[in-house]
Amino acid sequence: RVDSSLCYGLDAIGELLRLDNSFHDLVRLYGKEFHQAWDNLLPAIKSGDSAFALTFGMEHFDYLTARPALARRFDRSMAATTRLIADRLNAVYNFPTTSTVVDIGGGNGELLRAVLRRNQDIRGVLADRDHVVASVVIEPGLADRLTLCPVDFFVEVPAGHEVYLLARVLHDWNNEDCVRILRVCRQACGPAAVVLIIERLLPDRDTESLAIAWDMQMLTITGGRERTSTAEVVPALVGFQAAVPRLS
């Protein structure tokens, strides 16, 4: 942009590129690997594979596992957008006092830490792949309330806790894999447990929504999808309370 004195400067979009901007890593990620993957969208639609796998020879999360520096960038990218929804989650759900919240696939724990800061009487368990939790640094103020737990959430998650959080996890996976994840959650839950599912929901009618564009993005990168609130994966949680906070 050019100001009144004819000096050049960054506009709002350009500010995202600054190293000190929390969205810097997100811009780099979407401008490189994710952008490249879109070149193979049509072959992916025809084959049923993800465009990312066709482009890079392996699926998205395996690609990140093999590249620790890129995996850290991905975690920082997700944390930047997570900050935008943390206040919304705290506003729409009252976490039970003295409960333990298990954040499944929670990355670097940005969302869970926000929940713990807001709710001083609860504890948290960050459950994600071993290479993810290995890089998490817990600030001193939460050291006695936040536990790191390396897991494969297709196999098991920490059992017997009061609240289970799946924040923007299910949209990474196809229906069959989502049902697998939810069944593992169900096995871990006690009869009074609550499962919180946070996703960007597709609209139920013909209207503009960011979720529609994100549906294509998930198809391209992970082979997953965005869903409606009545999606067929939800019955895997029958018998348990569930909440689906809207992000859009």
Catalytic positions: 171
**Bridge partner residues of 166 (DSSP):** 197
**Longest CA span, the chain:** 66
Dihedral in degrees, nearest 10, Cα atoms 246, 171, 188, 139: -70
Looking at residue 222, its amino acid is T
- C-alpha to C-alpha distances, 82 to 18, 60, 88, 159, 198, nearest whole angstrom: 19, 20, 10, 25, 11
- C-alpha to C-alpha distances, 125 to 112, 116, 164, 229, nearest whole angstrom: 8, 10, 9, 26
Distance CA 88, CA 190 (A): 26
* 11 class by beta-carbon count within 10 Å (0-12 exposed, 13-18 middle, 19+ buried): exposed
Helix, strand and coil content of the chain, in percent to the nearest 5, comes to 45, 15, 40
- C-alpha to C-alpha distances, 72 to 59, 76, 180, 191, 204, nearest whole angstrom: 17, 6, 27, 36, 35
